Structures are given as structure tokens and as C-alpha cells.
Amino acid sequence: MLTDAQKLAPTPGTHIQMTYLEALMQAQMEEMDRDERVVLMGEDISVYGGDKLIERFGRNRIWDTPISEGSFTGMGIGAAINGLRPIVDLEFASFAYLASDQIINQASKLRYMTGGQIDIPIVFRCCMFSTGSMAAQHADRPYPLFMNVPGLKIISPTSAADIKGLMKSAIRDGDPVLVFEEKRLWPLKGDVPTDPDHVIPIGKADVKREGKDVTLIAIAGAIRPTMEAVDALAKEGISVEVIDPRTLKPLDHEAFKTSVAKTGRLVIVENGHRVCNVGSEIVAVMAEEAFDLLKRPILRLSAPDIHVPFSPSLEKDFYPTKDHIVAAVRRLL
Amino acid sequence: MQLNGDQRLEAYRRMLRIRRFEEEGMRQFKGGKIPGPFHASMGQEAAIVGACLALRDDDAMTGTHRSHGHPIGKGAHLDALMAEVMGKEGGICKGRGGSMHLADNSVGIISESAIVGGGIPLATGCAFSARVRGVDQVTLCFFGDGAVNQGTFHESLNMASLWKLPVIYLCENNGYAITTSLAQSHGQPDIALRAAGYGMPGVTVDGQDVCAVYEAAAQAVRRARAGEGPTLIVANTYRFDEHSFGLVISGEPYRSVEEVEAHKRDRDPILLYRTVLLEEGINEESLGAVEDEVAEAVKQAVKFALASPMPRPETLPDYMFNSPLAGQYSSAAGLERN
């Protein structure tokens, strides 16, 4: 049986094995080496971010901030306008709410509102800690909220190679990019290209598994139960194609349509709350642009419209599980 | 540090440019040429110009929704500013910003934030960038007395002090956050005292005295460039017009007609400074020449703005992104379909 790492691995080449988290850190370090304008800022990052960062780049590039999300985020934005390329690490994606005024009212809008007089090349890291009894205030997955804001690019890679390549694209991009990484993916190993210019374009989805019976679009951390479900279904002779959008804004409509043209059936799996999530958007896109490709109604699996509970017994089935996904796929056949 | 020879007339010129620009703007507003709200800075010109004159051309600035004075104070050309408040293609922000967001980056303005207190972290970050890059650029941050009660004020001042960032926080204290007075909204109304809580100097100046504001700002600039960190300056000033031009306040009056008239009569920063200049030996002829020049520049700005076309609807998505991606403009595509 394939390991998770093998399932999520890209085509082998000049690669080395590393975890998702190592790949993310390596992307930051390589980009900081490449471009001295890149600085890293956030709470406790010189400790949690690894002592290697301070050792390698010094304290003028690595900034431990006071607990002031609402303002150090804005500080990063001001610095981006004035010549730096900051990576603002908000740690918990739930803390992006504190920073949201600056992200939404300033970062996303100022280029437009000034008629293109300024650029805001900034990256916001928002890690989703969906499991592990973090309880509601630390466990949110707020990417749908930010998808409704024009002017932001949003990525949510799921493999080590993808996080490295997309993080590099985000840092090199001339606009604000939100990175929704997933803590559950941190330990996953995969083959990562050693090329320091390994970049994956923002806006391109990836086929993580080819199949012919059903298309399954998995978002961020939902890729793990999805791959387990797909393996189980394969044993029954059901062939599922797995698409990882990798970028949530803009979504790669063509990749979805190409796959559904083949399968005629679509399930979307994510850990966001149900109302107005990324699945809602994909369903709308398919209804508008590809209704005639569908043989069956689209199914969406997500977290319910309830806050993330603390107790393990309540949290256990809160997000779509392998069994939920298997059942959904069977329903469509 | 005092305003030197050339700067003395320049201070008068810039204050007058703000005043005449806004007087003309109000005429154009009444004539239906300016959409949206119009927040005038009239009465606050000395606080703005005094601070701006202490800066170098390559220094940076952030402002507020009361945004006309800041770019003019920093020396911006009037044409594109007038076109912007009319929503024209030739506007400084291509018709995407308007009266509350008159940011002119050619004079170092990185934003005019209409979210009260929203620009304070941006200015702090701008100064942070100068610090990281090792350049001696200073950032001037304008905000009003209302913004002092926002969290961004406290968080930003803390970080600026902690890292000795080259930033000047300039409070245009006109006494009213829309209709809410200082006494109604500040547990401790002496704003400059707040600086002590963050370990930086807090200076109060007469905001109707352009020389006093300049001197305080020049001192703060010197500190900032020397690596000694930020300064909070509170310029006590007064807003002659309503919060927004044409705004009808139907409830309880929050300030009396007598109060407003007394300020206009006795505390007009331009009249006060004109008297000073005459006393210092600058003759009527020189002042008259500046006045004529300003009138001509405003006239030219209106001409330019009226002649500038409205932005074409198909340009709606322009300026969204530095590096646009395929599919990024689906909303615009949606408009076309519908």
C-alpha cells in the first residue's frame, strides 16, 4: 500500500525528501537568500520559526512582533508599499480576523484605490489548526471569508513540493497573497525539487490522482481523508480523479471542467464551514459554465455550520472523514 | 529650527493652495461636478503645511479621509487632484479614490486611509522599511483626534517606540470626531500625554501657527533621522466647515455658531500667518503675487479637471493587480454577461 507521502508525491526528478513544513521553511529561506527585501515578521517566529533563521539572516530580517495582529499586519503592508517584501506570519488562521481590517481595507484595496500608484507585494501566512482540540477560537478555516474580497490571491497547497513552489510564487508576486497552510499536512513527506527556481504558478490546479468515474475536488487538509477514501474505493474498482485546486483565488475553472467532462460526477470536500465556502463557489461555477457536463447533482462535504468543538468525542467526525467521502462517491454512481 | 527665507512664502503659498482648492471644490460640488462626500480641511492648513515643510521630498506620508490638504501640503500639483475629486480619468488615482483618498505618491503619500486610524500602521511600516533598508527617510503620519482611540494608534506607537522607528505621528486635533467632542470620547483629553505611555516625546503645539508646527515637526524629523525614534505631535486646530460639506446635522447641535465664527474670525491660520509675514517685512506686493499665482493654479486645475474625460467603463478592472492572473476578473466578465 502506498504511504501518504507517495500518494502526494510529484513525479521524481532531482528531488529530495522532506516534510511539508520543511519545504515551506526552505521556500522562505531560499527566497530570503535570493532577495534581500524579503523579511519575516510575526509573533514568536524566531523561536518557532527555527533558530536557523536568525543565524542565517540576522535580526534585521526576522522580526518578533508584540501581540498586535491588527497593527503589525498593517506595518507589513506599509513596509511592502515602501520597498520591502514582507512575509507576515499570523500563525493561527483564526488570528487573521484580528488582522482582517488591514488585509481587507488596506492590502487588498490600496493599489486599486490609488490608481496603481503603489504595489503591495506581501505574503500573509495563515495556518489552519483544525484538529487536536484547539477549540473554536484557534481552529478556524477562514479562507472563504477572504475569497469574497477582491484584490487578494489565496493559495492552499497540500504537498511538500506544492507548498514550496507556490510559496515561492507568492513571495515573488507583486500583490498580496494569503497562504492557508494546514497543520495536519506539516509532517507529510514528499519529493521536493531542489531547483531554487522551482515555482508553481498561482492559479493552476493539479490532478493528484487520475480516474474516470467521479471527480473529487479536495481543499487543503481535506486531501488526507480524501486520499484514504480514494484508495478504499479503488479496491472496489471505483476510479476517482482527485483535483487539488492549490489556489483558491483565482480558482482554476478549466481544470474542474476538464475533469468533469471525463467523469460527469463531482464531489467537493473541504474543512470549511458549509455556508458560502469554496465548494459553494465551485458549484456555482459548474452550474454556470458546465451544467451540461454533469450526469448527477454535485455533492459537497464540509464542516457543519457549527463552531469547532473542544471535546475529542465531538470533534472526531466534525470534518469530512474517509467514510463520509466513500459514501458520497457511492451515492453518485 | 525656524522656517527660512524661501520657506516662509512657500508656507503661505501651500496653505493658500489648500484653502482655494477647497473653496473652488465646494463651488464645483454645488454645481454637481463632484460626486460623493467632500471633507474640507479649511481651518487646518497650518497643522498640515507646517508638518509637511519639515520633510524632504523623498520622505513618506500617510493621511486620512480629510485628504485634500496632505498632498497639497507636501507640494502636489493641483490638476490631477481636482480631476480625482471629480472622478475623472486624469485624476491622481484614475477615479478610483476620490475626495477621501487623494493619495499622490509622486510626493511620497502611500495612502489616505478613510478608515479612521487605518493609516497609522501603514506609516509605521513605511518607517520600518526605512529602518530595515538603512536609509534615512522619515515618515509623517497624519490622523485626527478620533483615531487616537483606535487600537491601531496604541499598537503602532508601541512598536515604533520599541524599534525606534523614524516616524512622526501628527494628530490634527480639531476637537471633534465628526460630532463627538474630545471631552465626550477621551478619558484623558490631553492627547500628548499618551506619548509617555509609549516612551516617546509628546508635544502639543498651536496648530493655527504654521511656524510652531514646523518647529515641532523639524525637531521630530531631526530625532527620527538621528535614530532616536518617533515623536507624537498634537497640533490643536479647528475645522471651519462641517464634517463633510453639505452634511445636515438635524439633532442636538454639537458646536455653536458662535464658536465656529470666533475661530474663523480670530484663529484663521492663513490670516494669522499673513499678519506675521507683514510684520516680518514681507510686503503686500509679494503676498499678492503668491495669491494671484495660487488663484491661477486653481483655475487651471478646474480647467484640466473639467476637460478630462470620465474613465471608460471597460477600464473598471484596471489597477487591481500588479501581476494579473487568468480568471482574476471574473466579476467584470460577469458584468458584461449580465
Per-residue pLDDT tens over the stretch A95-104: 999 999 999 9
Q: What is the pLDDT of residue A14?
A: 87
Q: Which residues of A touch B328 (CB under 8 A)?
A: 203, 250
Q: What is the mean pLDDT of residues A44-49?
A: 78
User: B332: pLDDT confidence band, cut at 50, 70 and 90?
Assistant: very low
Kindly tell me the number of DSSP H helices and DSSP E strands found in chain B: 12, 8
Q: What is the mean pLDDT of residues A198-216?
A: 97
Q: What is the pLDDT of residue B218?
A: 98
CA dihedral angle for residue B38, residue B100, residue B77, residue B267, rounded to 10 degrees: 60
| Residue A258 in contact with partner chain B when CB distance is under 8 A | no
- Give B314→chain A minimum CA distance, Å: 15
Instruction: Find the residue in B nearest to A77 (Cα).
Output: B122
Q: Tens of pLDDT along B40-70?
A: 999 999 999 999 999 999 999 999 999 999 9
CA–CA separation, B183 and B336 (whole Å): 52
Q: Buried b / exposed e across A28-66, counting CB within 10 Å, b at 16+?
A: bbbbbeeeebbbbbbbebbeebbeebbeebeeebbbbbe
Lowest mean pLDDT segment, chosen from A90-94, A263-267, B226-230, B252-256: B252-256
Q: Does the distance separating the beta carbons of B330 and A250 come in below 8 Å?
A: yes
Among the partner residues B124, B152, B319, nearest to A115 by beta-carbon distance: B319
Q: What is the pLDDT of residue B334?
A: 43
Q: What is the pLDDT of residue B326?
A: 63
**Interface-testing mutation among B62, B64, B132, with chain A (most A C-beta atoms within 10 A):** B132
Amino acid at A126: C
Q: What is the mean pLDDT of residues B173-178?
A: 96
User: A2: pLDDT confidence band, cut at 50, 70 and 90?
Assistant: low
Among the partner residues B122, B139, B151, nearest to A70 by beta-carbon distance: B151
- DSSP state letter for B187: S
Q: Does the distance separating the beta carbons of A111 and B121 come in below 8 Å?
A: no
* Residues within 8 A of B (CB atoms), A 108-127 only: 110-121
Q: What is the mean pLDDT of residues A156-163?
A: 98
Q: Which residues of A touch B62 (CB under 8 A)?
A: 78
Q: Give me the CATH topology for the region A206-332.
A: Rossmann fold (3.40.50)
**Interface-testing mutation among A43, A113, A246, with chain B (most B C-beta atoms within 10 A):** A113
Q: What is the pLDDT of residue B333?
A: 45
Q: What is the pLDDT of residue B250?
A: 81
Q: Does the distance separating the beta carbons of A74 and B96 come in below 8 Å?
A: no
Cell numbers given for A251: 480558482
Q: What is the CATH number of the domain that holds B303?
A: 3.40.50.970
The answer to whether the beta carbons of residues A218 and A256 sit under 8 Å apart is: no
CA–CA separation, B106 and B93 (whole Å): 11
Q: Does the distance separating the beta carbons of A73 and B121 come in below 8 Å?
A: yes
- Give A117→chain B minimum CA distance, Å: 6
The answer to whether the beta carbons of residues B205 and B176 sit under 8 Å apart is: no
Q: Tens of pLDDT along A58-84?
A: 999 999 999 999 999 999 999 999 999
* Residues within 8 A of B (CB atoms), A 129-158 only: 150-151, 153
User: A55: pLDDT confidence band, cut at 50, 70 and 90?
Assistant: confident
Q: Tens of pLDDT along A3-34?
A: 655 555 555 568 899 999 999 999 999 999 99
Share of chain B above pLDDT 70, in %: 96
User: A215: pLDDT confidence band, cut at 50, 70 and 90?
Assistant: very high
Q: What is the pLDDT of residue A12?
A: 53
CA–CA separation, B272 and B280 (whole Å): 13
| Residue A296 in contact with partner chain B when CB distance is under 8 A | no
Query: Does B160 score more than 90 pLDDT?
Result: yes
Among the partner residues B103, B115, B128, nearest to A114 by beta-carbon distance: B103
| Residue A162 in contact with partner chain B when CB distance is under 8 A | no
| Residue A80 in contact with partner chain B when CB distance is under 8 A | yes
Looking from the CA of B209 toward its CB, the CA atoms found within 13 Å total 11
Q: What is the mean pLDDT of residues B294-314?
A: 98
DSSP β-bridge partners for residue A241: A215
Query: Does A156 score more than 80 pLDDT?
Result: yes
CA–CA separation, B280 and B289 (whole Å): 17
What's the mean per-residue pLDDT of chain B? 95
Q: Which residues of A touch B325 (CB under 8 A)?
A: 153, 202-203, 250
Cell numbers given for B115: 478608515
**Which has the higher per-residue pLDDT, B154 or A9?**
B154
Q: Tens of pLDDT along B286-303?
A: 999 999 999 999 999 999
- Give A98→chain B minimum CA distance, Å: 11
Looking from the CA of A28 toward its CB, the CA atoms found within 13 Å total 27
Q: Does the distance separating the beta carbons of A78 and B62 come in below 8 Å?
A: yes
Q: What is the mean pLDDT of residues B310-330?
A: 84
Among the partner residues A60, A150, A252, nearest to B320 by beta-carbon distance: A150
Q: What is the pLDDT of residue A256?
A: 98
Query: Does B331 score more than 50 pLDDT?
Result: no
- Give A48→chain B minimum CA distance, Å: 21
**Which has the higher per-residue pLDDT, A4 or A263?**
A263
Q: Tens of pLDDT along B106-128?
A: 999 999 999 999 999 999 999 99
Please report how the helices B5-30 and B284-307 are oriented relative to each other, as an axis angle in degrees rounded to 10. 40
User: B252: pLDDT confidence band, cut at 50, 70 and 90?
Assistant: confident
Q: Does the distance separating the beta carbons of A153 and B151 come in below 8 Å?
A: no
Among the partner residues B129, B139, B328, nearest to A250 by beta-carbon distance: B328
| Residue B296 Cα to chain centre, angstroms | 22
Instruction: Find the residue in B nearest to A103 (Cα).
Output: B118
Q: What is the pLDDT of residue B246?
A: 79
What domain range includes position B213?
A: 5-337
Query: Which amino acids of A are annotated catalytic?
Result: 138
Taking every pair of Cα atoms in chain A, the longest distance, rounded to a whole number of angstroms, is 58
Q: What is the pLDDT of residue A3?
A: 61
Q: Give me the CATH topology for the region A18-193.
A: Rossmann fold (3.40.50)
Q: What is the pLDDT of residue B338?
A: 35
Q: How many CB pairs under 8 A join A and B?
A: 169
Total Cβ atoms within 10 A of residue B266: 10
Q: Which residues of A touch B115 (CB under 8 A)?
A: 101, 105-106
Q: What is the mean pLDDT of residues A123-149?
A: 96
CA dihedral angle for residue B117, residue B121, residue B127, residue B129, rounded to 10 degrees: -150
Cell numbers given for B101: 483618498
Share of chain A above pLDDT 90, in %: 91
Query: Does B94 score more than 70 pLDDT?
Result: yes
Query: Does B242 score more than 70 pLDDT?
Result: yes
Looking from the CA of B161 toward its CB, the CA atoms found within 13 Å total 19
Q: What is the mean pLDDT of residues B197-203?
A: 98
Q: What is the pLDDT of residue B224?
A: 98
Q: What is the pLDDT of residue B336?
A: 47
Q: Tens of pLDDT along B270-288?
A: 999 999 999 999 999 999 9
Among the partner residues B132, B152, B162, nearest to A74 by beta-carbon distance: B152
Q: B120: left (phi > 0), else alpha (psi -120 to 50), else beta? A: alpha
Looking from the CA of B44 toward its CB, the CA atoms found within 13 Å total 34
Q: Where are the beta strands (DSSP E) in chain A?
A: 15-19, 38-42, 62-64, 85-92, 123-128, 153-155, 177-182, 189-193, 206-209, 214-218, 240-244, 247-249, 266-273, 299-303
Query: Does B204 score more than 70 pLDDT?
Result: yes
Q: Work out the burial of residue A316: count CB atoms within 10 Å of its CB; fewer than 13 is exposed, 13-18 middle, 19 or more buried.
A: exposed
What's the mean per-residue pLDDT of chain A? 94
What are the residue ranges of CATH 3.40.50.970 in chain A?
Answer: 18-193
Nearest C-alpha neighbor of B108 from the set B53, B71, B65, B69:
B71
Total Cβ atoms within 10 A of residue A191: 21
Contacts of B266 (CB under 8 A, 6+ apart): none
**Structural domain count of chain B:** 1
- Give A126→chain B minimum CA distance, Å: 20
